[in-house]
Chains A and B, each alone.
Chain A
Amino acid sequence: MSASKAAAARENAGAEWSAHCHFVLRLADTSLILAQRLGEWVGHAPAIEEDLGLANISLDLLGQARMLLTHAGELEGRGRGEDELAYLREESQYLNMTLVEQPNGDFGQTMTRQFLVDAWQLELYERLQQSQDARLAEIAAKAVKETRYHLRYSAGWMIRLGDGTEESHGRMQAALERLWPFTNELFAADAVDLEVAEAGIAPAPATLQLAWTERVAAVLVEATLTQPQTTPFPWFGRQGRHSEHLGHILAEMQSLHRAHPGATW
């Protein structure tokens, strides 16, 4: 298949998704990729207690991703389950927010990424409990409790390290500067977002921004960190256009299933 035909095939694969299915896949992929990133810490965290803490959060996110992928598969109506969607889609068909595929960096950078996502997921899941999609509302009701804990955990580290030593403060501020531009994508709406908002399936992304900003700002003040200037640079991970990092994550995550289809233990 030529490159242009391959591109067209990918376009078609995406075009078959309704906005509803598209939206659920975006949520699923964002949780899945963040779970995978956090999993990279297992055995490497600065303390065994943190090792378990990060793994717990990763497993919560993986659980969310599994439910959302299964739901997306049902909405898609092509008989694909969670495994087919997780392991057999290519990079351009992955619809996660670009923020979650960013490298772990040091522990402070991982926590900063986590904190920015947790605060967003909390606002989103709280509202999704009232979704017209009853299954999505159920998933959100479970996820919102997990996410409240994730935010407690990551906000604690923001404050502890931000208001810590000179070195920890410097690293946290640097992580914030590095990751902040990716937060634009959390609140930018495209045709998919507008359609699901219109249908009462999900809130319009921009409606989450004020509450998110207030929640984040309160923690940053306590952490003695300075909120970076918002930059207009856009990212398009949830439209399948990713930073250079996602391909590596997928290669690692999908290789076993692709070599041994249907493998279980």
Chain B
Amino acid sequence: MTDNTRDWPLYEIFIRARSGLDHKHVGSLHATDARMAIEHARDLYTRRQEGVSIWAVRSTDIVASDPAESDALFEPARDKVYRHPTFYDIPDEVKTL
């Protein structure tokens, strides 16, 4: 197989497994346009009934955090345990909180 897809834009694919659930990222694929992205996503990621809805986003349109900035972005949250709501007394009647 020749790799003609090098020039095709990359799309990130999100699938909603069932009504009521969130769209989850499942992978990426190449497509020349939005219509083809949905068709390829359908053929690649829903062939075993994995989903009821597809989102496709051009990978270049996703703004991502820089792994090099992880320390600055995420470390400061580590010692802020008081942000977790663990200081409440849960009444016995509440089973599923």
- Residues of A participating in the B interface, judged by any CB pair closer than 8 Å: 43-49, 51-53, 56, 149, 152-153, 156, 160
Contact = CB atoms under 8 A, between A and B. Distances in A.
SS of A interface (majority): helix
B43 A156 contact: no
Given A47-B8, A47-B30, A160-B33, A52 B1 contact: no
Interface residues of B, number: 19
A51 B4 CA distance: 12
A48 B1 contact: yes
B1 A43 contact: yes
B83 interface: no
Q: Top 9 A-B pairs ranked by shortest CB distance? A: A49-B40, A47-B5, A53-B43, A46-B4, A52-B43, A56-B43, A156-B35, A49-B29, A153-B39
Contacts of A152: 39
A205 B32 CA distance: 37
B2 A46 contact: yes
B15 to A, nearest CB: 16
B26 interface: no
Contacts of A46: 1-2, 4-5
Interface in B27-76: 29-33, 35-36, 39-40, 42-44, 47
A152 B47 CA distance: 17
Given A46-B1, A49-B43, A56-B43, 11 more contacts: A46-B5, A47-B3, A47-B5, A47-B8, A47-B30, A49-B31, A52-B43, A53-B40, A53-B43, A160-B33, A160-B36
Contacts of B33: 160
B39 A44 contact: no
A152 B44 CA distance: 16
Given A47-B8, A48-B1, A160 B32 contact: yes
